């Protein structure tokens, strides 16, 4: 049996690229390291919100492009941002055509489609009956019906290059498989402790893997080994979690504490703030991971924030955090709270006084560090009882990775495409990140760039992307 293209990874990125290649007349072979029927990968356990920088994919391409550049402070590659924005509508159209269904996200009001059936709103990892798991299985079945193959339990070890052209892959077993093109779609490097220590945190043991730990950086390394450029490796998409999530399996991926942090404040043991909480949880979790001691951050907030936390989150932490064994400290005075939470009482009192004074004066953005108020207005810290939650950073997927252009072609360090090599999904860099850890969306990176890669291979190899939306 001969195949035209080899794809590394059977998540949404790999299976989307494979299905589009097959629709365009090619025979794709997907290598997937997991060997179970329901092999673990981030795609299978995703919550399912399909967005482009938190905008619905059916908004105008121009608005989506602007949103990507805004959220990344202009650091996204323009051709890649443009391609993702231009393809967003066609991407969701194709998903619907394949049988995917969507519902409105129950806790977000800005028209964000959620893959159906929706995730039950409860703590812990919960995926069996959710849209992403069912859609992943459906893509595998469609690939087989279209003449492709998903080969499980096979790990790719390296790329085969002849005369500067990628001509196949070498499996961990040593076997070589020839292919006219290869797509790297192995899901990122978040689970590789060595790479994480090099780029993201001084101590990988002190951040919570908020993912399936299948993205081990192998795609990144094999691409770098043949001269691919890597970009933006210092940021990640993730959420702020209870520190107890390091040992309590019920406390990840939800409940997350992003909104608590954004509406209250986050301090280190000296009682001082260290980041702009108003930029939201993805930024804050990056800031926590970047601390000299990533286990030194604590959220402090008053009872108005805790009451509000009954409603305003994907899985509200009040009361689910306590119900699932997470620590929530409570006291009637700031000094008593500091004592319970192991914070410097004088430092915390000074921070709260400064914070309240600036909020009262309408000058929160002038605090040091600043407190942005655009999305989360700053509230006075005043209504007892007061609360503290020890935090840790939760890493979901890395934002940076292999440099690709708007046609999903992997670029070398001079910026030229490496013939025969494509990348899609979380392994791709250059779309997300920047100074505020801008997040564009794991699913749109997988479905959108996967679609672009599949169609591009079909055009280049079969001379047609016919049959694909
Ligand atoms: C809990 C959770 C919730 C999320 N919710 C959302 C959400 O609501 N919206 C959103 O946009 N994003 C969300 N994401 C992120 C999103 O799920 C991912 O970014 C996306 O699914 C990544 O797809 P992928 O195909 O690139 O990688 P993956 O789905 O991780 O697939 C990569 C596959 O490659 C395989 N592999 C790795 N190395 C090799 C190798 N050497 N050889 C062969 N195979 C290999 C792995 O086993 C894996 O199956 C969430 C993630 C998590 C963990």
Structure confidence at residue 315 as a pLDDT band (50, 70, 90): confident
Q: Which atom of ligand 1 is nearest to the CA of 252?
A: 1
Longest dimension (CA), the chain: 72
Q: How far is it, in rounded angstroms, from Cα 424 to Cα 409? A: 9
The pLDDT assigned to 1 comes to: 63
Residues of the chain with CATH 3.90.700.10: 238-395
Of the two residues 1 and 54, the one the predictor is more confident about is: 54
Q: Is the CB of 211 under 6 A from ligand 1?
A: yes
Residues 81 and 429: beta-carbon distance below 8 Å: no
What are the structure tokens assigned to 93, written together? Answer: 């159209």
Contacts of 371 (CB under 8 A, 6+ apart): 276, 277, 278, 355, 358, 359, 364, 365, 378
Q: CB count, 10 Å around CB of 349? A: 15
Of 218, 155, 179, 186, the closest CA to residue 6 belongs to 179
Residues of the chain with CATH 3.50.50.60: 5-234+399-462
Q: How far is it, in rounded angstroms, from Cα 40 to Cα 113? A: 24
Question: pLDDT tens digit string along 260-273?
Answer: 999 999 999 999 99
Q: Is the CB of 446 under 6 A from ligand 1?
A: yes
Q: How far is it, in rounded angstroms, from Cα 48 to Cα 237? A: 15
Give me the half-sphere count of Cα atoms (radius 13 Å) on the Cβ side of residue 381. 28
Tell me the CA end-to-end span of the chain in Å, nearest whole number: 28
Q: Is the CB of 253 under 6 A from ligand 1?
A: yes
Taking the CA atoms of 10, 13, 19 and 22 in sequence, report the sign of the dihedral they define.
negative
Q: Which atom of ligand 1 is nearest to the CA of 125?
A: 1
Residue 463 has pLDDT above 90, yes or no: no
Of 220, 243, 222, 242, the closest CA to residue 232 belongs to 220
Q: Is the CB of 15 under 6 A from ligand 1?
A: no
CATH number at 5-234+399-462: 3.50.50.60
Residue 94 has pLDDT above 80, yes or no: yes
Residues 284 and 263: beta-carbon distance below 8 Å: no
Structure confidence at residue 405 as a pLDDT band (50, 70, 90): very high
What ranges make up the beta strands (E) of 156-294?
156-162, 165-171, 176-178, 181-184, 208-209, 230-231, 236-242, 265-267
Residues 219 and 185: beta-carbon distance below 8 Å: yes
pLDDT (mean) for 26-40? 98
Structure confidence at residue 127 as a pLDDT band (50, 70, 90): very high
The pLDDT assigned to 2 comes to: 83
Tell me phi and psi for residue 341, to 5 degrees. Answer: -90, 0
Give me the half-sphere count of Cα atoms (radius 13 Å) on the Cβ side of residue 101. 7
Residue 467 has pLDDT above 90, yes or no: no
Residues 201 and 207: beta-carbon distance below 8 Å: yes
Contacts of 143 (CB under 8 A, 6+ apart): 15, 18, 19, 22, 28, 30, 149, 150
Residues 142 and 21: beta-carbon distance below 8 Å: no
Out of 224, 443, 445, mutate this one to test ligand 1's pocket (max ligand atoms within 8 Å of CB): namely 443
Residue 129 has pLDDT above 60, yes or no: yes
Out of 20, 37, 40, 43, mutate this one to test ligand 1's pocket (max ligand atoms within 8 Å of CB): namely 43
Q: How far is it, in rounded angstroms, from Cα 114 to Cα 120? A: 12
Out of 16, 45, 46, mutate this one to test ligand 1's pocket (max ligand atoms within 8 Å of CB): namely 46
Percent of the chain with pLDDT over 70: 97
Q: How far is it, in rounded angstroms, from Cα 268 to Cα 187? A: 32
The CATH classification of domain 238-395, taken from the options 3.10.580.10, 3.40.50.2300, 3.40.50.720, 3.90.700.10: 3.90.700.10
Q: Which atom of ligand 1 is nearest to the CA of 186?
A: 34
The pLDDT assigned to 108 comes to: 63
CA of 382 to the centre of ligand 1 (A): 42
Instruction: Cite the DSSP H helix spans in 200-255.
Output: 218-225
Q: Is the CB of 458 under 6 A from ligand 1?
A: no
Of 64, 29, 110, 138, the closest CA to residue 444 belongs to 64
Collapsing DSSP to helix, strand or coil, 289 comes out as helix
| Residue 273, beta-bridge partner list | 267
Write the residue with the smallest CA distance to atom 18 of ligand 1. 442
Q: Percent helix, strand, coil in the chain (nearest 5)?
A: 35, 20, 45
Query: Between β-strands 386-398 and 401-403, what pairing exists: parallel, antiparallel or unpaired?
Result: unpaired
CA of 362 to the centre of ligand 1 (A): 42
Residue showing tokens 């986050």 = 266
Write the residue with the smallest CA distance to atom 27 of ligand 1. 187
| Residue 149, beta-bridge partner list | 29
* Opening angle at CA 433, ends 388 and 216, nearest 5: 85
Question: pLDDT tens digit string along 99-124?
Answer: 999 998 666 656 789 999 988 878 99
Write the residue with the smallest CA distance to atom 12 of ligand 1. 442
CA of 39 to the centre of ligand 1 (A): 11
Question: pLDDT tens digit string along 147-172?
Answer: 999 999 999 999 999 999 999 999 99
Give me the half-sphere count of Cα atoms (radius 13 Å) on the Cβ side of residue 180. 16
> Which pTM value belongs to this model?
0.97
Question: pLDDT tens digit string along 198-240?
Answer: 999 999 999 999 999 999 999 999 999 999 999 999 999 999 9
List the single range of 308-322, 362-376, 441-455 with lowest mean pLDDT: 308-322
Residues 417 and 402: beta-carbon distance below 8 Å: no
């Amino acid at each position: 049996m001969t195949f035209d293209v080899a794809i590394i990874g059977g998540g949404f990125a790999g299976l989307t690229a494979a299905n589009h290649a097959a629709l365009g007349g090619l025979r794709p072979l997907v290598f997937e390291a997991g060997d179970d029927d329901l092999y673990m990968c981030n795609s299978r356990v995703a919550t399912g919100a399909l967005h482009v920088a938190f905008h619905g994919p059916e908004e105008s391409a121009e608005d989506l492009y602007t949103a990507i550049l805004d959220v990344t402070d202009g650091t996204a590659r323009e051709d890649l941002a443009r391609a993702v924005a231009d393809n967003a509508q066609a991407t969701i159209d194709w998903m619907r055509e394949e049988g995917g269904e969507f519902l409105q996200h129950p806790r977000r009001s800005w028209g964000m489609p959620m893959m159906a059936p929706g995730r039950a709103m409860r703590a812990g990892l919960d995926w069996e009956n959710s849209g992403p798991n069912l859609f992943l299985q459906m893509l595998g079945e469609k690939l087989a019906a279209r003449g492709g193959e998903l080969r499980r339990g096979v790990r790719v070890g390296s790329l085969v290059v002849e005369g500067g052209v990628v001509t196949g892959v070498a499996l961990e077993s040593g076997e070589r498989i020839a292919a006219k093109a290869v797509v790297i779609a192995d899901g990122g490097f978040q689970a590789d402790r060595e790479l994480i220590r090099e780029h993201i945190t001084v101590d990988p043991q002190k951040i919570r893997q908020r993912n399936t730990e299948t993205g081990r950086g192998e795609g990144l390394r094999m691409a770098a080994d043949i001269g691919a450029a890597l970009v933006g490796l210092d940021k990640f998409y993730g959420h702020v979690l209870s520190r107890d999530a390091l040992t309590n399996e019920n406390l990840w991926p939800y409940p997350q504490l992003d909104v608590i942090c954004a509406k209250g404040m986050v301090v280190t043991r000296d009682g001082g703030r260290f980041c702009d909480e108003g930029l939201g949880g993805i930024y804050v979790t990056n800031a926590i991971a970047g601390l000299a001691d990533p286990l030194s951050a604590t959220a402090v907030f008053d009872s108005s924030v805790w009451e509000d936390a009954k409603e305003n989150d994907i899985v509200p932490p009040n009361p689910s955090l306590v119900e699932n064994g997470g620590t929530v400290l409570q006291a009637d005075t700031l000094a008593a709270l500091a004592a319970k939470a192991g914070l410097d009482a004088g430092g915390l009192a000074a921070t709260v006084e400064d914070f309240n004074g600036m909020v009262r004066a309408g000058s929160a953005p002038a605090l040091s560090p600043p407190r942005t108020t655009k999305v989360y207005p700053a509230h006075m810290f005043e209504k007892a009882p007061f609360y503290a939650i020890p935090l840790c950073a939760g890493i979901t997927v890395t934002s940076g990775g292999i440099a690709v252009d708007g046609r999903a072609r992997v670029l070398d360090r001079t910026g030229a495409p490496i013939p025969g090599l494509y990348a899609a999904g979380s392994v791709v860099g250059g779309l997300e990140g920047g100074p505020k850890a801008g997040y564009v969306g794991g699913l749109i990176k997988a479905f959108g760039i996967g679609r672009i890669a599949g169609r591009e291979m079909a055009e280049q190899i079969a001379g047609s992307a016919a049959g694909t939306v």
